Amino acid sequence: MGFNLSNFLNSKSKNRKMIDFQDLDHLDGLSISTVSANLYNAKRDDLVMFYFRDGANFASVYTKSKIVSENIKWNLNQKAKKIFSLIVNTRNANAFTGEQGYKSMQNIAEVISIELTNKQKLDDNEPKLIKPKNILFGSTGTIGEIFPLQKIISKIPELIKNIKYTQNKLIWMKAALGIMTTDTQPKMAMEECHIGNTRVKIYGIAKGSGMIHPDLATTLGYIFTDADLSNDVLKKLLNSNIETTFNAISCDGDTSTNDMVSIFSTSQSKHVKISGINDKNLKDFDISLNKVLLNLAKRVVADGEGSSKFITINVNDAKTEADAKKIAFSIGNSPLVKTAISGEDPNWGRVVMAIGKSQVSIKVNSLAIKFGKISVVKDGKIDPSYSEKDTADYMKNSDIEISVKIGTGKKSFTAYTMDLTKKYIEINADYRS
C-alpha cells in the first residue's frame, strides 16, 4: 500500500512525543483482514475483520448515551461466551437506522458465521460451529443513513479469503487505517508483560478524532491479548482501567451513540492459571493494560480535530476522585480555557473560572495552580514570583500541563484534552457542505 511510516510520523506534528508507533506483530489466535467495501467512494479499506480461530474471551464497555446504535444493540443482545469475529465498518454509524440497521447486523452475522464455519472445516482439525451470536460489530460514521448491507455482504468472501494465520506490522497498520473516519493518524499501541514467568502481549488499536466527527466522532478501541483470562476477569480489568484512560479524555464534551472499547483474549499463552481479579500474577498485566489503553486514548486526543496543543490537566488533593474528575473536565471542556491555550495566552483567570463553575466545594485559601512547573496561584493568591512573560513562553509548547491543588483531601484525577481552534470550527461547520 506504499505507506511510509516515517513520512507519516513526521507529517503532522513536530513536537509530539506520542506519535512514535510501536511495532505490533503476530499475536497467537488472532487473524486480521481488511477490504474496501466502497463505503467511502474512495480507494481505501473501510471494512475490517478480526478473526479468532479458536474463539476469544472478551469484555466490552459501550457509550453511556441514551440513544445507541443498532450494532451496539446487537452486541448487547448476544449472550455468547466466546467471540469468533469482530467486524468494524466505517462511513455509516448504523445509528437511527431502526429495523433495517438491526436486521443488517443479523444478516451479516449469519453469512459470516456460515462462511467461517466452512473455513474451520477446511483449515482446522477440530472445526468449531460458529454462530451469529459469536460475531460482534463496531460501526462509525454518519447516522441516520440506510445501512449499506449489500455492499458489506458482497465483500465477506474477499474478507475471509484474505485471512492469514500469521500477522505482521503491515496488517495491523491496515486495520488501524481501515477503521479511521476523519482521523489523520492510525492509532496503535502495545505492551509486553508477564503473567507468572510467561511473557504475554497486549496489542491495541483505536480510532477517534476529537470524539466529534463525522457527525458524532465515535471512539472505538480494541485490545487483543494472547493471555488466558476469563470473561469475568476481562470485564473487571476493563472496567477498572477505562476510568483513567478512555474516560479521562475529552475533546469537546460530546458523546457518540457508537462508542465502544473491547478486550479480547485468545488464551494461546500457556501461563499459570489466573484464579480471579485479585490474583497477584495479574498485577503486571493490569499495569500494562492501563498503559496500552492510556496510550491509545492520548493518541485520540492528540489527533483531535483541529487541535494544535495536547493538554494534560492534573487535579490533586481533592476530597474524592469524583470531585477531582469534575474539576478536571470543567477545565478541560471549557471553551474559554481551550481558546486561551490555542492563543498561547497564560490566562489563568479562566482556569479559576472553570474550577468555580464545576460546583465542587474547594478551599480557596489552599488553591494552587501551576502551568507546567510555573507556580501561578499559591495559597489562593497570585504567586508573588509569577511572571507573565515566563508563562507566556511556556504556552508556546505543544504539550501544555495544568496542575490544580484543591486542598480538600488526597484524591487526584488526570484528564487529557486538546485546544479549540478555528480549524475545529472549519472542519465541523463545513462537513457535508
Q: Does 48 bind a second copy (CB under 8 A)?
A: no
* Closest among 204, 228, 232 to 288, alpha carbons compared: 204
Stretch that binds a second copy, among 42-50, 123-131, 138-146, 410-418 (CB under 8 A): 138-146
Stretch that binds a second copy, among 131-139, 174-182, 192-200, 337-345 (CB under 8 A): 337-345
Please, which residues have CB within 8 angstroms of residue 204's CB and are 6 or more apart in sequence? 188, 189, 190, 221, 222, 223, 224, 292, 293, 295, 296
Q: Does 347 bind a second copy (CB under 8 A)?
A: yes
Q: How far apart are CA 341 and CA 356, in angstroms?
A: 19
Q: Does 297 bind a second copy (CB under 8 A)?
A: no
Which of 359, 373, 389, 396 contacts a second copy by CB under 8 A?
A: 359
Q: Does 335 bind a second copy (CB under 8 A)?
A: yes
82 in Cβ contact with 56 (< 8 Å): yes
Which of 32, 217, 223, 234 contacts a second copy by CB under 8 A?
A: 217
How far the first Cα of the chain sits from its last, in Å, is 30
Q: How far apart are CA 111 and CA 182, in angstroms?
A: 29
Q: Does 424 bind a second copy (CB under 8 A)?
A: yes
Half-sphere exposure of 271 toward its Cβ, with a 13 Å CA cutoff?
Answer: 24
Q: Which is nearer to a second copy, 50 or 424 (CB)?
A: 424
Q: Does 216 bind a second copy (CB under 8 A)?
A: yes
Which of 360, 402, 404, 415 contacts a second copy by CB under 8 A?
A: 360
310 in Cβ contact with 301 (< 8 Å): yes
H-type alpha helices, 303-347? 321-332, 335-342
Which of 14, 66, 389, 396 contacts a second copy by CB under 8 A?
A: 66
Which residues does residue 220 pair with via DSSP β-bridges, in sequence order?
207, 260
We find the least distance from the C-beta atom of residue 428 to a second copy, in angstroms, to be 4
Stretch that binds a second copy, among 18-26, 57-65, 101-109, 227-235 (CB under 8 A): 57-65
Which residues does residue 314 pair with via DSSP β-bridges, in sequence order?
403, 414
Which residues does residue 85 pair with via DSSP β-bridges, in sequence order?
51, 135
Query: Catalytic pick from 218, 225, 244, 421?
Result: 218
Which of 191, 226, 252, 317 contacts a second copy by CB under 8 A?
A: 252
Does the annotation count 218 as an active-site position?
yes
- Calculate ∠ Cα 390-363-336, nearest 5°: 50
Q: Which is nearer to a second copy, 172 or 386 (CB)?
A: 386
Q: Which residues does the annotation mark as catalytic?
A: 218
Residues in contact with a second copy by CB under 8 A are 63-68, 95-96, 98, 142-144, 212, 215-217, 252-257, 333-336, 339-340, 342-345, 347-350, 352-362, 364, 377, 380-382, 420-422, 424-426, 428-433
